[in-house]
Amino acid sequence: MAKRKAVPSKLNWYAKIHIFELLTLPAYRNLSKSATDVLTLALAKSDAAAAVKSRKPGRPVFEFTFSEAERTLHMPASTFNAAWKQLAEVGFIGVNRPGGIGDGDGIPTLYQLADGFKTWVAPPRDNTNILKAQAAKRAKKEARGAISDPTR
């Protein structure tokens, strides 16, 4: 009889995170600090689900609730929700099965890691205010130079 793998406890979560790969991605660099914290925990939960899942095709599916975020990350539900929305917009996480009180009859939502972040492109920056401030600073400096320089 084959020995079954033990379900890892929440204290023994692990994540195969390749830090260099993540840090060089524009999608990761554009995330807020809260979103990076949630993503790190989601990667750990996904890897823990992969360790215990049977031979089913596809990526592992995991639960992540507001109460877990509050307990493990000390993050309020509104911050967790904003971070989760940001992760979904960028393409790191997708919903496998919706849950909740209304549509899900009180069952937790099941999530899956996604690959959308690999093709994500950062939105262009609007530098007009920076350019205006630099021009004003330059003009102010030139005006001071004209007043303080008696040779002009």
Each residue's pLDDT tens digit in the chain (152 positions)? 556 655 555 545 555 555 677 778 888 888 999 999 898 888 888 887 877 775 566 788 888 888 888 888 888 889 988 999 999 999 889 888 877 776 556 788 888 888 888 888 877 877 888 889 999 999 998 888 765 555 55
CA 118 vs. chain centroid, Å, equals 13
**0.85 surpassed by pTM:** no
Alpha helices in the chain (DSSP H): 19-23, 26-29, 33-52, 66-73, 77-90, 128-148
In whole angstroms, what separates CA 36 from the centre of its chain?
4
For the chain, helix (H) and strand (E) counts, in that order, are: 6, 3
Q: How far apart are the first and last CA of the chain?
A: 96
Amino acid at 74: H
